[in-house]
């Protein structure tokens, strides 16, 4: 089974970044820990000590112990605590800090992978331990496990779905055995003891697990679809509920089957990247998507929805987006949308906060519409990378002027901006006083223009990170040592200007041939 994860998912639309908070991984806490926290941290170091302490401490302290056990990755302590959990509910989001913080995951892939691994440690440990507790009939009172807000790896999802089906099948078998036992009581002959027994896999009280699912393998898709279906039955003992779904490399027919089994009431985020969805298949999928009225985030990127070639598909996609009243985060990247942006997103019921349109073939009319749309009231993250914006600088400038009070992230990577285009945009960039992250990499600029850019950016005191490529005039020499010396000298000069009024992390990338 393919259990790989797409790390880029956690940069995207479905998991929002708390951009104003510091990085969650590898940061030292400045505040002094409380005595309760220090004692809990000591107790969870040894699972034997945890098992002894849990019988004497007030049940409220189990929450602090579980927090420390999860954060410190003490799986054995988590096992002990979960098997004696004194409450009916456990919510992962209330126990551990949010790891999707700061702008760093937008440009640092190593950091992003560490963030992802920490998330998977949480959900893997809790899911596996909880099912073992259920099977072993431990004294836990837990009936509702909420792991939403953190991605669940596919292998754990398959494990949960399989046990959900096993629970349902055994419950049905128990009902049939009980019916048989009642019937044979009317017979005069004795009944063998083995027929009077009904193996109990689960307690009589139903148990619910809420999670975010990652699906890429057909085997997982099959088990999850069946598990979600039986979870809707009133007599199910172990039920699954999805809050976010990432379905990758499945295709429209399988997606329709899976989405048809999900309870629309709880799903808030869907990512359908790399599913080869074309115009026809999206039209087939649209009626199912429209049922998810609580959807806040939708990612349809990296498919083949070429709406500029199909007026009917444009109408269907626009109708689908307008039917989602809570939609605030949208990614349509790598679908050809040129000339159609107005028809697609003008009908959304509330302004979008996060909009990614990378590689969509946008035209000047699309950018002009965006600069006058109702979305300018709320846009915090705009990604226009991979579009040819050479002739759109006027409309792009007006867009930046309209979103100057809300915009936190602006990505214009590989957007064919030349020296003249950047110079035209400098007055508008200077208005972005709330900007935290700016990505201008893979645009061909000379060093003098880059230095003018650094002067403009030095006034943006909230800017946390800048991604930009080495200047095009550095590539005239074939001497590698000279090339590296010039690059380093430029970086030093750039930082001297940039850091006059702000402390900004500079990410320099090599400029590929354009």
What 3-state class would DSSP assign to 344?
Answer: helix
* Strand 238-247, strand 269-271: pairing: parallel
Domain ranges of the chain: 8-103+133-141, 351-514
Q: What is the pLDDT of residue 420?
A: 94
> What's the predicted TM-score (pTM) here?
0.89
What pLDDT sits at residue 109?
A: 87
Angle between helices 480-498 and 447-457 (to 10 degrees): 20
Segments in 437-500 forming alpha helices (H): 447-457, 480-498
Backbone angles phi, psi at 142, to 5 degrees: -65, 130
pLDDT of 173 reads 57
The continuous run of DSSP H or E covering 213 comes out as strand 207-215
Q: What is the CA radius of gyration of the chain?
A: 27
> Partners of 146 in the beta sheet?
91, 210
Angle, in degrees to the nearest 10, between helices 109-136 and 61-71: 130
Phi, psi dihedral angles at 305 (to 5 degrees)? -90, 85
pLDDT at position 71, please? 92
| pLDDT of res. 204 | 46
Only one residue has tokens 């896999």, namely 201
pLDDT value at position 358? 95
283 to 62, 260, 305, 316, 347: CA distances (angstroms):
50, 15, 10, 6, 18
> Exposed, middle or buried by CB within 10 Å (0-12, 13-18, 19+), for 436?
buried
Regarding the domain with residue range 351-514, which homologous superfamily does it belong to in the CATH classification?
Ribonuclease Inhibitor (3.80.10.10)
Digit-by-digit pLDDT tens for the chain (514 residues) are 343 444 455 667 899 999 988 888 876 556 688 899 999 999 999 999 999 999 889 999 999 999 999 999 999 999 999 999 999 999 999 999 998 999 999 998 889 888 889 999 999 999 999 999 988 888 899 999 999 999 998 999 999 999 988 887 776 655 554 554 555 455 454 433 332 233 333 344 589 999 999 999 999 999 999 999 998 888 788 899 999 999 999 999 999 999 999 999 999 999 999 999 999 999 999 999 999 999 999 999 999 999 998 999 999 999 999 999 999 999 999 999 999 999 999 999 999 999 999 999 999 999 999 999 999 999 999 999 999 999 999 999 999 999 999 999 999 999 999 999 999 999 999 999 999 999 999 998 998 999 999 999 989 989 999 999 988 888 777 778 888 888 888 888 888 887 765 678 888 888 754 4
């Amino acid at each position: 089974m393919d259990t790989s994860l797409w790390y880029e998912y956690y940069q995207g639309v479905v998991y929002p970044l708390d951009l104003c908070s510091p990085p969650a991984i590898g940061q030292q806490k400045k505040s002094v820990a409380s005595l309760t926290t220090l004692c809990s941290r000591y107790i969870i170091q040894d699972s034997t000590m945890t098992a002894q302490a849990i019988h004497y401490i007030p049940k409220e302290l189990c929450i602090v112990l579980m927090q420390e056990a999860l954060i410190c990755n003490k799986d054995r302590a988590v096992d002990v605590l979960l098997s004696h959990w004194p409450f009916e509910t456990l919510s992962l989001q209330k126990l551990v800090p949010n790891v999707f913080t700061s702008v760093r995951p937008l440009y640092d892939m190593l950091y992003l992978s560490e963030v992802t691994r920490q998330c998977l440690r949480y959900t893997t440990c809790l899911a596996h331990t909880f099912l073992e507790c259920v099977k072993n009939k431990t004294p836990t009172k837990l009936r509702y496990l909420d792991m939403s807000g953190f991605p669940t790896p596919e292998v754990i999802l398959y494990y949960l779905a399989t046990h959900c089906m096993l629970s349902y099948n055994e419950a049905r078998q128990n009902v049939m055995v009980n019916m048989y036992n009642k019937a044979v009581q009317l017979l005069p002959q004795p009944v063998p003891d083995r027929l009077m027994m009904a193996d109990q896999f689960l307690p009589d009280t139903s148990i619910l697990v809420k999670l975010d699912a990652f699906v890429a393998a057909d085997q997982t898709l099959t088990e999850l679809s069946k598990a979600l279906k039986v979870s809707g039955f009133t007599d199910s003992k172990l039920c699954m509920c999805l809050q976010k779904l990432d379905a990758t490399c499945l295709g429209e027919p399988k997606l329709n089957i899976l989405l048809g089994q999900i309870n629309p009431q709880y799903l808030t985020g869907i990512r359908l990247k790399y599913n080869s969805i074309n115009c026809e298949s999206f039209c087939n999928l649209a009626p199912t998507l429209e049922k998810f009225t609580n959807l806040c985030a939708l990612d349809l990127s990296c498919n083949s929805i070429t709406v500029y070639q199909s007026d009917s598909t444009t109408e269907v996609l626009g109708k689908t987006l307008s039917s989602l009243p809570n939609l605030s985060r949208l990614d349509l990247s790598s679908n050809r949308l040129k000339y159609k942006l107005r028809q697609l997103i003008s009908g959304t019921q509330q302004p979008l906060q996060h909009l990614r349109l990378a590689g969509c073939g946008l035209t000047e009319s699309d950018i002009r519409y965006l600069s006058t749309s109702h979305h300018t009231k709320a846009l915090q993250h705009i990604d226009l990378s991979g579009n040819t914006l050479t002739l759109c600088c006027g409309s792009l400038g007006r867009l930046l002027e309209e979103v100057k009070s809300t915009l936190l992230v602006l990505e214009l990577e590989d957007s064919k901006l030349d020296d003249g285009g950047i110079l035209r945009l400098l007055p508008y960039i200077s208005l972005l006083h709330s900007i935290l992250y700016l990505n201008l990499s893979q645009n061909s600029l000379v060093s003098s223009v880059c230095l003018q850019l650094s002067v403009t950016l030095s006034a943006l005191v909230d800017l946390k990170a800048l991604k930009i490529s080495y200047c095009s005039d550095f590539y005239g020499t074939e001497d590698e040592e000279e090339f590296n010396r010039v690059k380093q000298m430029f970086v030093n000069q750039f930082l001297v200007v940039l850091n006059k009024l702000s402390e900004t992390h500079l990410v320099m990338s090599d400029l590929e041939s354009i």
